[in-house]
Structure 1
Amino acid sequence: MPQYLFSDSTYTIFKENTRPRLSLISVSTENSAPIFRSLHSHEDCASILFVLEGSCICTLEAKKYQLKAGDIACINAGTLHGTMAAQKKQAYKIMGLDIKNLHLKGLPPLHLIDNESSPILHTKDYQSMLTSYAVILLDLAPLAASPQAAQTANHLMHSFLFVLYKLIHESKNDTKEDTYSLGLQIKEYLDQHYLENLKLPEIAEALHMNTYYLSHTFKKATGYAPMQYVTQRRIGEAQNMLLSTDLTVTEIAMRCGWNNSNYFQSVFSNVVGMPPGKYRKAWKSK
């Protein structure tokens, strides 16, 4: 019978005296909470999205990626991100992990990747192993209130990160994108002012370019028209407030740049696929 002797290694990928903590596990399927999340960010955790079945479209900052089964999106703290189904009525299953107190060696706190690495990983030879971890984590998720289950899930998350760390370094992208491109300069302006009463001519005037050139450049860089992007940011902020506060829909509309609650609800329904109140109930009833 084969026997395998493991080394007594103290190797770790975590910075000395730090241990990451799994704070949340989520799962999206066509029969559960809606997959759509508009652009939003988390400042207190890094996040992992692992597509187990089907496919989805993931937006990171202002770039869209299509993910299929076996793909992982690595999301550093503070990174704007959003997800949506790749096709209507398509079966999918996506696991999300939010990780606090993460500090990988050689990276800033709450970072999974550096600026030179692709945020999208194709798991390839590691897919079976990572899927096994994911299945157990999802089995443990309903038991999150149990200290024993929480500790087990945390150890599994550490194992998941070890494999992911190896995969990231094997997949390292040697090409560095120009972070100072004109498209990203436009994005930075929109990110700073999206809650204001923005109009395209005023944006163009502030950035000293004509409206056509601004729209064309931003669309080419991000896949969004400028005002579409503003709407996505506002909807993302509204989703965060619906899930994390008890503010009324009208109050949220006002805080997210809409002066008319009915119009906000109409836009929200068109983008998300359901009204704000129903969206809040769908997530809070999980």
Structure 2
Amino acid sequence: MTQYFLKQDVHSIFEDGLLPKLLYICDVDQAYTRLPRIMHSHDDIMEIVFIKEGKGVHVIGERKYDTRKGDLLIYNSHVLHDEMANPDTSMSVYCCGVTNLKLKGLPANHLVSEDVSYVIHSGEYADQIEALLKMMCTQAQEGKTGLVELCNYLLCALISLILQIPQEVRALTNAEESFLSNRIKDYLDENYLEDINLESIAQSLAISPFYLVHVFKEATGSSPIQYIIRRRIGEAQSLLINTDYSVTQISGMVGYDNISYFTTLFSKTVGMTPKKYRQIWTKISK
């Protein structure tokens, strides 16, 4: 028998000893991951996604990642992310939403700093991470007494384990090095729900529409108008999932007075109508 004594003078990774809280956990199979989850962010929540099977393409913050089995995706609060499975593979994931997370030296509900990769290759830790997530799912499904405490402690174990994995410092992309492209993106993020077009954006930033499109597309791979559409559709998805507003109300809230045009854009981007999308995600939450 080998007995190990834990060092009792080791400081907690959590600031002031406050423990994070698990808000939700999902075991998501290919039937749902094949639906693109368009550009969105969370104000008071951070998410941890673990890819059990398959491959995908994820845009987190300013960077595009080709993701695969065993990868951990870290969505800090307020960080935009865009999710799409590879249609040629069957991607399944665990996803958990976390709040009340405060690590020393980082903003609230941030698991990693901005200068490291938002995708972590779990490697030798994969089996342990998946086991913790599976246990959390099982406990949440069974709903027994002590569920909240048990899942929160499992969450602490998960976060502690993730922080043991060496983090990769990410190189700056051209977009991050370009002051102008960042100005354009900041403006779009602040005003995407407003009645804006290419000309009004260019006028506000005191540049020509042609140069605006060139700089932004060179940095991000999409035009400013395409970016606005994805931001609006992403916001619409969040409203469909998390509120009881009607599709007509949501259409107006994300900047489209014409419900038919909104439905067409949504269907083209997501692959189904807003009504169908809500019905599918309502089933997940039950």
TM-superposed deviation, 1:162: 0.4
| TM-score calculated relative to the size of structure 1 | 0.90
In structure 1, the partner of 2:258 is 260
Describe the superposition over 1:53-88 as per-residue Cα deviations: whole angstroms up to 9, x where unpaired.
Answer: 1012212234322211111111111111121112x2
In structure 2, the partner of 1:150 is 148
Kept in 1, the 8 Å contact 2:23–2:97? The answer is yes
In structure 1, the partner of 2:169 is 173
User: 2-side partners of 1:90 and 1:152: how far apart?
Assistant: 34
TM-superposed deviation, 1:174: 7.0
User: 2-side partners of 1:97 and 1:153: how far apart?
Assistant: 11
User: 2-side partners of 1:141 and 1:89: how far apart?
Assistant: 31
Kept in 1, the 8 Å contact 2:34–2:85? The answer is no
Kept in 2, the 8 Å contact 1:71–1:120? The answer is yes
Letter in 1 for 2:16: E
Describe the superposition over 1:88-121 as per-residue Cα deviations: whole angstroms up to 9, x where unpaired.
Answer: 2521111111111101112121111112222111
TM-superposed deviation, 1:176: 5.7
Moved over 6 A (4+): none
State which of 183, 190, 193 in structure 1 corresponds to 2:188. Answer: 190
Describe the superposition over 1:173-209 as per-residue Cα deviations: whole angstroms up to 9, x where unpaired.
Answer: 1756647632221110111111122221222222222
- Larger mean CA deviation between 263-272 and 148-157 belongs to 148-157
User: 2-side partners of 1:223 and 1:133: how far apart?
Assistant: 37
In structure 2, the partner of 1:212 is 210
In structure 1, the partner of 2:2 is 3
User: 2-side partners of 1:3 and 1:187: how far apart?
Assistant: 56
Letter in 2 for 1:200: L
User: 2-side partners of 1:266 and 1:147: how far apart?
Assistant: 46
User: 1-side partners of 2:145 and 2:58: how far apart?
Assistant: 33
Does the residue aligned with 1:285 lie in a helix, a strand or coil?
helix
Relative distance call for 1:197 and 1:174 in structure 2 (3 A) is closer
In structure 2, the partner of 1:124 is 123
Does the residue aligned with 1:31 lie in a helix, a strand or coil?
helix
Structure 1 vs Structure 2 CA RMSD: 2.0
User: 1-side partners of 2:140 and 2:56: how far apart?
Assistant: 22
In structure 2, the partner of 1:76 is 76
TM-superposed deviation, 1:33: 6.6
Does residue 1:21 correspond to 2:21, yes or no? yes
User: 1-side partners of 2:198 and 2:123: how far apart?
Assistant: 43
Relative distance call for 1:253 and 1:37 in structure 2 (3 A) is same
Does the residue aligned with 1:16 lie in a helix, a strand or coil?
helix
In structure 1, the partner of 2:31 is 31
Q: Percent identity?
A: 32
TM-superposed deviation, 1:230: 0.4
Does residue 1:137 correspond to 2:136, yes or no? yes
User: 2-side partners of 1:262 and 1:27: how far apart?
Assistant: 33
Describe the superposition over 1:7-51 as per-residue Cα deviations: whole angstroms up to 9, x where unpaired.
Answer: 243532101141101111123211347542111111111111111
Kept in 1, the 8 Å contact 2:184–2:216? The answer is yes
State which of 231, 234, 247 in structure 1 corresponds to 2:232. Answer: 234
Aligned residues: 281
TM-superposed deviation, 1:237: 1.0
Kept in 1, the 8 Å contact 2:33–2:91? The answer is no
User: 2-side partners of 1:268 and 1:155: how far apart?
Assistant: 39
TM-superposed deviation, 1:272: 0.8
Unaligned stretches of 5+ in structure 2? none
Letter in 2 for 1:173: V
Kept in 1, the 8 Å contact 2:33–2:92? The answer is no
- Larger mean CA deviation between 2-11 and 126-135 belongs to 2-11
User: 2-side partners of 1:153 and 1:141: how far apart?
Assistant: 8
Kept in 1, the 8 Å contact 2:232–2:255? The answer is yes
| TM-score calculated relative to the size of structure 2 | 0.90
- Larger mean CA deviation between 41-50 and 202-211 belongs to 202-211
User: 2-side partners of 1:63 and 1:120: how far apart?
Assistant: 10
User: 2-side partners of 1:147 and 1:80: how far apart?
Assistant: 36
User: 2-side partners of 1:204 and 1:8: how far apart?
Assistant: 59
User: 2-side partners of 1:50 and 1:94: how far apart?
Assistant: 5
In structure 2, the partner of 1:96 is 95
